[in-house]
Amino acid sequence: MARLSPRAATLIALAAIALLAPLLFPSSFYYRIGALIFINGLSVIGLVILVGFAGQVSLGHAGFAGIGAYTCALAPVHVGLHPALAMVLGAAISAVVAWLVGRPILRLSGHFLAVATLGFGILVYMVLNNESWLTGGPDGIAVADIGLRDLLRDYDIKVTASQLWYWLGAAALLVGAFLALNLQNSPTGRALRSLHDSEVAARTIGIDVARMKLTAFVVSAVYTSVAGSMLAMMNRFVTPDIAGFMHSVELLTMTVLGGAGAVFGGFVGASILTALPQLLTVFEEYENLLLGVIMMLVMIFLREGLVPSIARRLRRGGSK
């Protein structure tokens, strides 16, 4: 029997999880958690491309989530766009901003690059927080309904809002994973991975290092922007916190926790850090402590992230 390629296995696993997970949901609340996992997973896949493939670090990627989310909130009101079209507009704006910002800051490396991206994220957060005449300031702003439930109701298909966004999030995640996996196996993906190992060696064999870095930055920004737009449309409300530093840290931690070098690892990291706080609420004030301990243990004993480390150990066990 023919063996599945890693790309096909990843897509089948993600599809199976999305289809089978609702069988275990005791209430519609879990559909919302599932939707959050898928949306966060989409953001993390973008960071897998930037961090895992290209070896670049960003501490301000939540800024692109803020751009996407606030475009979905403002464009329907001021331009008359449907929220879905506003999501596309937000992705385009994020791509342009990433290209403009990435050209100068991606000349940096290491902690200098991390600080520069952190500055970008803080700048976006400050604009969203301070320009209350447009963004609503710290109080946030409402987001228009996409109207899909009403459309489905016309065809006698009744779903809750949580169920709708669960399936929309699953579809977006699968499309994002498919594109990322295709990129990983393309000549561009191989060029990006060469940057991760050594920029000097990549430049020696003729790879345009600056262009590859910028490509990864722009693509990852689009992923995060779309995820931010979906989160805003699902919640029907958005505040500047979506572009805050802690959101950037959460996304980066999800990426590293699951395994930055693997698309499925990014999804696993997003699943754990999205669902675990819900499970740890029974410990009340110890929730953050336990979450931190779990993350520390993983980083100490599974340094490559959960998925790559476990996969390597399974291969070693199978070879004995």
Tally of domains in the chain: 1
111 within 8 A of 130, measured Cβ to Cβ: no
DSSP helix/strand/coil, 238: strand
| Cross-strand partners of 141 | 238
Tell me: the pLDDT tens digits for 180-205?
999 988 888 888 888 877 777 888 88
DSSP helix/strand/coil, 141: strand
Q: How far apart are CA 261 and CA 184, in angstroms?
A: 10
In a domain, 236, yes or no: yes
Q: Distance between terminal CA atoms of the chain? A: 23
In a domain, 13, yes or no: no
pLDDT of residue 3: 73
pLDDT of residue 177: 96
In a domain, 10, yes or no: no
Instruction: Name the stretches of the chain with pLDDT < 50.
Output: 1
Residue span of the structural domain in which 253 resides:
29-319
Q: How far apart are CA 176 and CA 184, in angstroms?
A: 12
pLDDT of residue 2: 56
Q: How far apart are CA 243 and CA 266, in angstroms?
A: 20
DSSP string across 201-213: HHHHTT--HHHHH
In a domain, 11, yes or no: no
In a domain, 233, yes or no: yes
In a domain, 6, yes or no: no
Q: How far apart are CA 213 and CA 47, in angstroms?
A: 13
In a domain, 162, yes or no: yes
Query: In sequence order, which ranges of the chain are alpha helices (DSSP H)?
Result: 6-20, 29-47, 62-78, 83-105, 110-130, 132-135, 148-154, 161-184, 187-197, 199-204, 209-235, 245-258, 263-279, 287-301, 306-319
pLDDT of residue 283: 66
In a domain, 194, yes or no: yes
Q: Give the burial string for 220-254 (b: 16+ CB within 10 Å, else e).
A: bbbbbbbbbbbbbbbbeebbbbbbbbebbebbbbb
In the block, residue with structure tokens 């995640």 = 173
**Which amino acid appears at position 218 of this protein?**
V
Write the CB contacts of 232 (distance below 8 Å, at least 6 apart in sequence).
68, 69, 70, 72, 73, 143, 238, 242
In the block, residue with structure tokens 């993350």 = 295
